[in-house]
Structure 1
Amino acid sequence: MDALMKPIDHARCRELAHPDIANFAVSVFIVVGILVSYLPQHYKIIERRSSRGLSPLFVLLGTVSGTASIANILTLPESTTDMACCKEIGRFPCAAALLGIAQIGVQWTCFFFIMLLFLIFFPRAPIPGIDQDAEDVDSSKMPTWKEAVLVLAVSLAFFVFAFIGSVVFVYAMPSHVRAWANFLGLLATVLAAVQYIPQIITTWRLKEPGSLSVVMMCIQTPGSFVFAASLYARLGKGGWSAWGLFIFTGCLQGCLLAMSLTFLWRDRQERKRLEQEESDDSSERTPLLVTEDIS
């Protein structure tokens, strides 16, 4: 790790030695919020015992984007400067300085777990009684098990690529580290953008969110903008490739959330209509039953 550190910037270290308590509290809140926001998605897949409704490309691109994002912030000169300062400042200031890295690390870990749950509970075929309107969905349009395995293979392959590439640039070509970090950031942004396209298509095709957690999106959509603001406060304009990702994905996730809420509202109204019809039918039959009892 020592070789990864760039020369210590003593001015920066003096600044980090006295962390702002309010900023630290907000950053910790964001880390906890990221973890909590993913729990509804984990729970929904496990509770339904099915990952139907999640697009394989959504899971793949999200995992690869997260890997690129964590590699991006680990190799950004601003981040390596902060890590180098941990040699000169106390444990608490060091922890405060590295919270930006922790935020992205927690997010990557949580999404990687979604990928594992996606594989574990991948539906080989529509499940009547669990998947709404399963019989109405063309099984030929649903993802296959081979596609699910491909998600894991490509995700692991990119992880190896990002790791080896980062080591090469940090150790062998340090003058090009920022270019590499910006490349990873741009890649993460592009993949995160493309990530929502197959999921939006899948949700639109199913006409329901399925195993996609609406609660997660309700937390994450506004949280993305708070997260971006926190990263901007730490990295400044030079870290645009890191915080810009979360502004962009927040907008796209908001679109998916609006679609999911629309389908849920439609289903709720339909249930109310059916319940009302059943109630009306019951009311119409009641007088007949009373007449029969009297006679």
Structure 2
Amino acid sequence: MPEPSCFSEPGVFDVSLGLFLCVGTLISFLPQHYSLLRRRSHLGISFLWLWINNFGNFCNTFSDVLDQWSKIECCSQLGPWQCTEVLLVFLQLGINWACIFLVFILALVFFDYDGTTQSYNQRLTAWLGFVFYVALVGFGMGTAFVFVLLMDPHSGPAQTYANTLGIVSAIVPVFVWTPQLYTTYKLKGPGSLSLTMQVIQTPGSFIQAFFQIWSGEWLVGMTAAISGFEQLLLVLMCTYFMGMDWWRARKAKKEGGAGEPLLGNNGEVGKGLTINETKEEKHDFERAKVIEEVDQDAPF
């Protein structure tokens, strides 16, 4: 018989919603993973956004684990269904963290390296940032395990550490999407950033916020809500730029007489290109210059 503090009436709605969000999180990241694998390019994705996002997910996950450790201990006294309900919040946070971490790895693997010194320095900075992240998270996880395995996770120092991680995870959503919003604005398009992922995750963030608040996790819920509003802004920005690209292409097609050949000074077709193709090349050249500027401005 479980202790009174561990007793939990298994709620079908809570468990079903939690499992739905876990599966939905996995599915929502698949378009981003596919985009990086297909394009084999990191352009359009901010490494600073990935770094902050991953660190925020670490803080969010381990803050909740330490703060709610008593719930995890209860699993030894509960049935599988009841334990699943207890652990769903932690599982959901862990899945989200693992998925965004994989995006970080893929962006590093497919870094656009062109052999120049500038590109080498940018790639080196990105990898150094990743190594620093791994070291920082490793230290943070080690500290958490010390509190759990060697000390009382309910002690004052452990709760102070958990609260500190919680404060960081609450602050991170305020600016986590700022580097990505800046990169997308400078690029004037999503690049390798998957708009499909953003469209799926934006309403998912608000559903997640509702689920977390419903479960009594107000801090985690507010974090998800803030992230949802920022993702909504990013979706609107990407949609606008993609719409402008479509409008420019359509306008160029009309002005060019549906692909009328572009004549040179001697009356011959200039380089075998049409007016449309020339305008598209000009637009691509301007986009490439913006990409170079973004890489120069990016912290890493």
User: What is the number of equivalent residue pairs in this alignment?
Assistant: 257
1:135 is matched with none
1:227 is matched with 208
State TM-score, norm by structure 2. 0.79
CA RMSD, aligned part only?
2.4
Give unmatched runs, 5+ long, in structure 2.
Answer: 261-300
Aligned residue among 227, 230, 238 for 1:249: 227
Whether the 8 Å contact between 1:9 and 1:81 is mirrored in structure 2 is: no
State TM-score, norm by structure 1. 0.80
Map 1:277-288 onto structure 2 (within 5 A). Answer: 277-279=255-257
2:190 is matched with 209
**% identical aligned pairs:** 29
Shift of 1:194: 2.4
Tell me, in whole angstroms, the C-alpha distance in 2 between the residues paired with 1:82 and 1:182: 17
Deviation per CA, 1:42-99: give whole Å up to 9, x if none.
01011101011111101111111111111111111xx322212111111121112111
CA 1:197–1:10: 2 relative to 1, 3 Å: same
1:172 is matched with 151
Specify the SS of the correspondent of 2:145. helix
CA 1:143–1:150: 2 relative to 1, 3 Å: same
Aligned residue among 15, 23, 37 for 2:14: 23
Aligned residue among 46, 53, 65 for 1:55: 46
Map 1:36-47 onto structure 2 (within 5 A). Answer: 36-47=27-38
Whether the 8 Å contact between 1:61 and 1:192 is mirrored in structure 2 is: no
Tell me, in whole angstroms, the C-alpha distance in 2 between the residues paired with 1:278 and 1:143: 42
Tell me, in whole angstroms, the C-alpha distance in 1 between the residues paired with 2:179 and 2:259: 43
Tell me, in whole angstroms, the C-alpha distance in 1 between the residues paired with 2:194 and 2:38: 12
Tell me, in whole angstroms, the C-alpha distance in 1 between the residues paired with 2:222 and 2:146: 26
CA 1:148–1:258: 2 relative to 1, 3 Å: same
1:136 is matched with none
Aligned residue among 93, 96, 103 for 1:104: 93
Give unmatched runs, 5+ long, in structure 1.
Answer: 1-7, 127-138, 283-295
